[in-house]
Amino acid sequence: MRTFTPAAGDITAALQSVLNEGPGLVHLGPGEYRCAGLRIPAEVTLAGEGAATVLRLGDGETVIRQQDAGDWALRDLVLAGNATGEWTERDDKGERGIDISGCRGYEISGVTARDFHGAGVRIAHTALFPRHVFCDGGNLERVTVHGCHTGLLFDTRGEYLNAVAISAYHNVTGVVIHAGNVKLTGSNICSNMDGILIEDHENGSHGALGNCLVNHNSRHALWCRNAQNGMTVANCCFFYGDITLEDSHGIVIGGGEICCNLFVRGAGAHRLAGNYVIPHPGICDRFEFTPATMLEGNFTAEGAWEGKW
């Protein structure tokens, strides 16, 4: 283990020099430090001391930028932007806590990304070739994103990713999925304007959402917009905000709990099955289904539910 003891001011160059020494653990102690464009090399772990270690965005757009590197790790620290004021008014100026592209086999755990005019965490273009390892894109665990325009962004071709125990709150959009082969499970996506947005870029946005709480989002709980490759949504709890399936195909929502208005628009077929639906005036009392929408085995406290009260 190598312990980095920074001086005052921007620490990017000094910390980069330590990281470049090669494989192993680099420990960053308590304090708030400014940096931008930092890179973690392959087989190197950068670890802090939880909330006591803060890397604040310096003169640049991204605190950490990971490009074409595998088998690295980021653990137990805070990435902080400089956005102030009401979180509902965040816009996207391209600022990011960590920006990942062309990487594979990495780990992000115990990390908070907050207050960015952009995405707290953005992942794009998972490196699958030439090894063809279709299960080792990257792993995110115990990641918290808040106060950002977008909390967690699975961007174009950011695929074969496992994300568990994600907490996304007070973002304009909590989680955005533009990529295929994404798994998000055991997470809280709550108190955003839009909870989860799924929208195709290359290779569609298929994957699996499971065992998530998607509660108290003010506009959409789940918004599938031009998602042509389907998505499996299982055992999730949706309270408040609308569920809207718009110009999409093959969205399967099953085995969950729903207290939301539901709107299905466009030509695609979808299936809602085995959900417990909770009536609530103004929150779960408006439903719009197309003829191709399959409603099977949904129920209320009074018995079977067929898409209306």
H-helix or E-strand containing 15?
A: helix 12-19
DSSP conformation class of 13? H
Q: Is the pLDDT of residue 132 over 60?
A: no
Task: Give the residue with greater pLDDT, 211 vs 206.
Answer: 211
Identify the bridge partners of residue 62 per DSSP, sorted by sequence position.
96
Length of the chain: 309
User: Which CATH number fits the domain that encloses residue 10?
Assistant: 2.160.20.10
Work out the average pLDDT over 72-89. 97
DSSP conformation class of 192? S
Residue 133 confidence class, pLDDT cut points 50, 70, 90: low
Query: Do β-strands 299-300 and 303-304 pair in parallel, antiparallel, or remain unpaired?
Result: antiparallel
Residue 301 included in any domain: no
Q: What is the pLDDT of residue 25?
A: 97
Residue 273 included in any domain: no
Give the total number of structural domains in the chain: 1
Residue 285 included in any domain: no
pLDDT tens-digit map of 259-299: 999 999 998 899 999 999 999 998 999 999 999 999 999 99
Q: What is the pLDDT of residue 205?
A: 83
Residue 274 included in any domain: no
Q: What is the pLDDT of residue 131?
A: 61
Residue 150 included in any domain: yes
Residue 111 included in any domain: yes
The parent domain of residue 86 ranges over: 2-259
Q: What share of the chain is helix, strand, coil (3-state, %, to 5)?
A: 5, 50, 45
Amino acid at site 68? D
Q: What is the pLDDT of residue 242?
A: 98
Residue 284 included in any domain: no
- DSSP string across 16-66: HHHHTT-SEEEEE-SEEEEESSB-PPTTEEEE--GGGEEEEE-SSSEEEEE
Residue 87 included in any domain: yes
